[in-house]
Amino acid sequence: MELKQLCGAIEAILYVAGEPVQEDALRVALETTQLELENALTTLESGYEFERRGIRLLRFGSSVQLSTRPEYAPYVERMLQPVQKQNLTQAAMETLAVIAYRQPVTRGDIEAIRGVKCDYSVQSLLNKGLIAEAGRRDTLGHPMQFCTTDAFLRHFGIASLEELPQLKFAQEENQPQQDAAEGENNTAEANDAAGPEERTAVECPAQETETIPPDEGEKQTGESLLAAP
C-alpha cells in the first residue's frame, strides 16, 4: 500500500473510531509493517501541523487518536454546546499526582504521603479510567497497586509520563541530613553495644604520658628529699 493511501486509510479508521486506537490494531487491520505505519503516522501528524488543520493527530503511548485543535474549541462549543466535563476535586488531583509520580503505589503509600484516607479518591479515579490496578505488591497483606492509564495521558494532553513536570521531592532534598543523622545514630549504637573499656577507647582519645629517664627520676627524688624538712 502506497504512503498516501495508507495515510488516508488511517485517517478514516481514526475518524470513525472516535476513541484512541492501538497501533498494533492499526498495523494488523492495514496489513502493514511497523516501520510503514510509523512513517504514515508521522506524515499525517506533520501534515496537520503544517497546514494548521482543524484536527490533529495525538499519540498517547502506543495509542493514536484524532482530536480537534484547541484554538478552534470556542467555535465548536458555540455550535454544539457540549456538556462540560466535571473537573477533578482537589483530593482526587492530589491522589492522582502521587500515583503519577510514584507509581506503582498502594493505598497505604498514598495515605502516608497525603496524611488522609484515599479510598473515595482512588475509587473515583478508577471509575474515570485515569488509573488502573497494577497487581499486588509482594509484601505483608499483598496490597493492590495502582498506576496511570492512557486516559490519564489524554486528559492532560501529554504523550508519555516523561513529559510530566520534573519535581524535586523533599525526601531527596533532606537525604544528606538524614544520612548524617543515621551516621550519628550508628556511632551512638556502637558505643552502647561496646564494653566499658571499648567505649572509653572510642569516646576519649589516648593521652600521651611523659616518660622520665631513670637518672632524672632519681635526681628529682633526691631533690625532693633535700627540700623536705
Residue ranges covered by each domain of the chain? 3-80, 90-163
Share of the chain above pLDDT 70, in %: 71
On the question of a common fold for 3-80 and 90-163, the answer reads yes
By the 8 A CB rule, do 114 and 95 touch? yes
Q: Is the pLDDT of residue 178 over 70?
A: no
Share of the chain above pLDDT 90, in %: 39
- The residue count for the chain: 229
Q: What CATH number matches the domain at 90-163, 1.10.3210.10, 1.20.120.10, 1.10.3720.10, 1.10.10.10?
A: 1.10.10.10
Q: Is the pLDDT of residue 216 over 70?
A: no
Given strand 21-22, what is the order of strands in its sheet? 21-22, 63-68, 55-60
Specify the pTM: 0.50
The grid cell for 32 is: 502493514
- Cell 510530566 belongs to 164
Q: Is the pLDDT of residue 180 over 90?
A: no
Mean pLDDT of the chain: 78
Q: Is the pLDDT of residue 208 over 80?
A: no
CATH number corresponding to 3-80 = 1.10.10.10
